[in-house]
Structure formats: structure tokens, C-alpha cells
Amino acid sequence: MRILVVEDDAPLAEVLRRGLVEDGYATDVVGKLADAMHAVDTNDYDLVVLDRGLPDGDGRDLCARMRSNGDGTAVLMLTARDGLGDKVEGLDAGADDYLTKPFDYPELTARMRALLRRPTSAQAPILIHGTLEMDPASRRVSRSSITIPLTAREFSLLEMMMRAPEATHARTDLLEHVWDANYDGLSNVVDVHIANLRRKLELSGQDDPIETVRGVGYRLRPQSTS
Ligand code: CA
């Protein structure tokens, strides 16, 4: 098992490195976002322990970039803040779990073991609807084999629809599942994101796969079974 630790707090990074090496993990440590981006591009990790507050940026950006590149490596995000918003943002960016600082080393390794036991993306089912394909594990979406980069929320909206392709999804259901419970922003936020999603899915020159159900919400356009 090879682990990347992205942590700019040098004493903490050293504690983690020593502990993980002692526990038998091959462990690389970097302290900057740029070095972390280079490391994940160059090496094949089983898990990334990712601090959010880095001197040259937000760890969340690394996670989002990995997911948009189709990299499904487990990410355990560390955050110094314990606000719900920070956790939601981390998970939206594609993190698999988060741990709030300060934490005990045994809790970190317990969470790591849980993530490493997770089925790999190769075993996870691919969702297919017509020419549209979604791999929930790597968070990759493609249409006729052309990869379509989506934001975390666009992905979540499409995932809800692809997991229940026959159903009509009410705006309120989509809002509840994709935004956190305390969301009190614009009421048309679902429509705005669906419009962006449609625009991206149509870029490949194909039909709009999403139908508007007037007064209710959205569903996937039924596929002919011929
Ligand atoms: Ca930090």
C-alpha cells in the first residue's frame, strides 16, 4: 500500500510519516499543493491523506482535479475547521472521508483502513443510459466514449437521475440530496445546474438526455429498447 501525505505542518507530517512507515505503508510526504499535484500525476497511490489549508492553495483543488481526471484513489481530507460547510465542500470535491484536526493517530489509521477496504473502481458498477456512461467510483462521465468534465454538483444531479432512470425527480428532492440541508440560497439553483449539465452533455452533438417534467422536476429521456 502506497500512501501520499499532503501536510504542510512539518511536525505533524513527520509524526504521520513515522507512524505510517512503522505500520507498513510506503509513505510519501509533500507540503505544497503543487508538489502533491506532481506526485499524484507521477505515482500510483492507494490513498491520499490531504490537508486542506496548504501554503499555495486549498487541498480541495487537488481532490477535484484528481476526480475530473478520472482518478478514483481514496482521499481522506484533513480540515482544521469543523464547520459543516467545510466538510460538505470537501465531500463535494470528491473526498471519501474527512477528519477534523486535532485528531488521534489511531483514528486516522482506522479511517484509512476502512477506505482501503472499499471495493476498487474495477468492481463498482458502471451506470449506462443510452450513450451516456457514468463510473461513480472514479466520478467519470462520458457520452459515446467522450469524457465530459462535470462539477461535483452536476455529477451528483446526474448520478441521482442515472441511479433511478425511470423516475421523475422533484426539484426539492434534487435540492435535498445535492445541497446540504441548511442550503438557503437561490430557489432556482437546481434549474441553473441542470441547464449547465444539459449544455455539457449536448456538447458532444447529441440530443438532450434530460426531460423537464412541467411543474415537477426532471427525468432522463426514456431510451428505446430496440
Ligand atoms: Ca495546513
- pTM for this predicted structure: 0.54
* pLDDT score of 175 more than 60: yes
Alpha-carbon distance 83 to 77, whole Å? 14
Compute, in angstroms, the gap from residue 78 CA to the centroid of ligand 1.
9
* pLDDT score of 123 more than 70: no
Compute, in angstroms, the gap from residue 55 CA to the centroid of ligand 1.
7
Compute, in angstroms, the gap from residue 9 CA to the centroid of ligand 1.
6
Share of the chain above pLDDT 70, in %: 87
Compute, in angstroms, the gap from residue 84 CA to the centroid of ligand 1.
18
Say what angle helices 105-117 and 10-22 make with each other, to 10 degrees: 60
pLDDT in tens, 34-72: 999 999 998 888 899 999 999 999 999 999 999 888 888
Lowest mean pLDDT among 2-6, 70-74, 85-89, 193-197: 85-89
pLDDT at 82: 62
Confidence of residue 226 (pLDDT cuts 50, 70, 90): very low
Confidence of residue 224 (pLDDT cuts 50, 70, 90): low
Lowest mean pLDDT among 14-28, 70-84, 160-174, 181-195: 181-195
pLDDT in tens, 89-122: 777 778 888 898 889 999 999 999 888 876 654 4
What's the average model confidence in pLDDT over 71-85? 79
Compute, in angstroms, the gap from residue 113 CA to the centroid of ligand 1.
23
Mean of the per-residue pLDDT values for the chain?
85
* pLDDT score of 177 more than 80: no
Lowest mean pLDDT among 51-55, 123-127, 165-169, 204-208: 123-127
Compute, in angstroms, the gap from residue 117 CA to the centroid of ligand 1.
27
* pLDDT score of 124 more than 70: no
What protein residues have CB closer than 5 angstroms to ion ligand 1?
8, 51, 53
